[in-house]
Structure 1
Amino acid sequence: MKTEQNKKQTMKSKLYDLIVAISWADLSRTYFGKSSSWLYQRMEGVNNEGNPIDFTPEEAERLKGALVDLSERIRRAADNI
């Protein structure tokens, strides 16, 4: 029987096409004030001990806002070319 964690799509899988294009360490520091390992654990859905971990609703909303902000910054940079 699948666990709830296995059924749920991880944040990493949801953002797969962006994984290599974004500095996640910088995003973690800039938007969360946290280490890259903090963000990577939540992206993977497990902590260092192998226990399930996820973004809180507030953290997921902050991540969404960070990605929107990055998209706007990318758009502005592209417009300046």
Structure 2
Amino acid sequence: MERKTEMETIIRKPVVVSDMKQRLADINLSVSWMDFANKYFHKSSSWFYHKLNGIDGNGGTGGFNEEEIEHLRGSLFDLSNRIRRAAESI
């Protein structure tokens, strides 16, 4: 069995999802993304739309990073729970 004695450097490229708009296509017209951005991210709608469209503020390539993806996922789960509770109260 051979052991490596040299220290290896691992460089992780940050994950950026730039196709979120396509991933959310099923609900895209059903959600007020302006309200969603304000309530869950405390950001402007333009910031959120840039992220959805995979561009950064300067027109280059951008998107959601890993932390923002997890935040978005949790926020969508929260919204879905709120909708379910509203439906159950009818």
| AA of the residue aligned to 1:46 | I
| AA of the residue aligned to 1:71 | S
Q: Find the partner of 1:28 among 37, 42, 47.
A: 37
Larger Rg: 2
**Counterpart in the other structure of 2:21:** 12
Give the count of matched residue pairs: 74
Structure with the larger helix share: 1
- 8 Å contact kept, 2:20–2:54: yes
**Counterpart in the other structure of 2:85:** 76
SS in structure 2 opposite 1:34?
coil
Please, which runs of 5 or more residues in structure 1 have no aligned partner?
1-7
The alignment-based identity, stated in percent, is 46
Structure with the larger strand share: 2
> Aligned partners of 2:18 and 2:72: how far apart in 1?
16
Change (3 A) 1:9 1:48: closer
> Aligned partners of 1:52 and 1:9: how far apart in 2?
8
TM-aligned CA deviation for residue 9 of structure 1: 6.2
TM-aligned CA deviation for residue 54 of structure 1: 1.2
> Aligned partners of 1:50 and 1:59: how far apart in 2?
19
Give the TM-score normalised by the residue count of structure 1: 0.84
Q: Does 1:58 align with 2:67?
A: yes
Give the TM-score normalised by the residue count of structure 2: 0.76
